[in-house]
């Protein structure tokens, strides 16, 4: 059993940790995200990631199980407004229409909490994504075929057809949901390696 626990049921985050060759277990956090805030702030997304990791770390702490718990939260921001997971098809369509032919940024906060003493470290990573000018047909094609209704900003960059994205400035893993460079940096603070 690994020393690391991922406090998420996200298959995308699981895949990134596997690609990093980390030995880890998965215990999804039961922390209920109050995604009511619509104006962006780094503190807000950091708090969400921290609370997810803390939820799992506290449970392990009570059982005297020592692990490093990773929590993460990813948000999509345009015009300083947070685009959360879409409520329905129309909401997803409106999001992609808003992102079309513009640059937005994606922020992932990563928190690592030690279940031993509940000490924590939290950092964020920001990536800038520019979409091509998307036609109504392209937006509908993507929504109908990929159904990105569980994703912030109504899209998953790893499944978008190539011609939808003009440029990505920063770590693409951050847009997918877990920046590997930040994960390693935070783990190093606990392990000292």
Which two tokens mark 25? 């277990």
Tell me how far the alpha carbon of residue 192 is from its chain's centroid.
25
50: three-class secondary structure by DSSP: helix
Which two tokens mark 96? 């992609």
State how far the Cα of 151 lies from the Cα of 148, in Å rounded to an integer: 6
Q: Which of 55, 73, 125, 171 is catalytic?
A: 73
Contact residues for 64 (Cβ-Cβ < 8 A; gap 6+): none
The residue length of the chain stands at: 193
29 and 48 Cβ atoms separated by less than 8 Å: no
Give the residue from 102, 156, 160 showing the smallest Cα distance to 129: 102
141: three-class secondary structure by DSSP: helix
Our answer to whether residue 95 is catalytic in this structure is no
Q: Write b or e for each residue in 53-67: b if 16 or more Cβ atoms lie within 10 A of its Cβ, otherwise e.
A: bbbbbebbbeeeeeb
Give the catalytic positions in this structure: 73
């Amino acid at each position: 059993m690994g020393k690391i626990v991922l406090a998420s049921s996200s298959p995308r985050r699981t895949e990134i940790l596997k690609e990093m060759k980390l030995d880890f277990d998965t215990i999804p956090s039961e922390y209920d995200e109050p995604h009511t805030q619509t104006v962006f702030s780094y503190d807000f997304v950091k708090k969400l990631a921290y609370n997810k990791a803390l939820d799992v770390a506290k449970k392990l702490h009570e059982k005297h199980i020592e692990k490093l718990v990773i929590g993460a939260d990813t948000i999509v921001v345009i015009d300083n407004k947070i685009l959360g997971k879409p409520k329905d098809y129309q909401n997803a369509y409106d999001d992609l229409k808003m992102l079309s032919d513009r640059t937005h940024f994606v922020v992932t906060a990563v928190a690592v909490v030690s279940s031993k003493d509940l000490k924590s470290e939290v950092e964020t990573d920001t990536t800038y994504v520019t979409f091509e000018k998307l036609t109504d047909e392209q937006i509908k094609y993507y929504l109908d075929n990929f159904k990105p209704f569980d994703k912030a900003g109504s899209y998953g960059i790893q499944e978008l057809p190539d011609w939808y994205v003009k440029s990505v400035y920063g770590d693409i893993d951050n847009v997918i949901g877990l920046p590997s460079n930040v994960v390693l940096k935070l783990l190093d603070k606990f392990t000292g390696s």
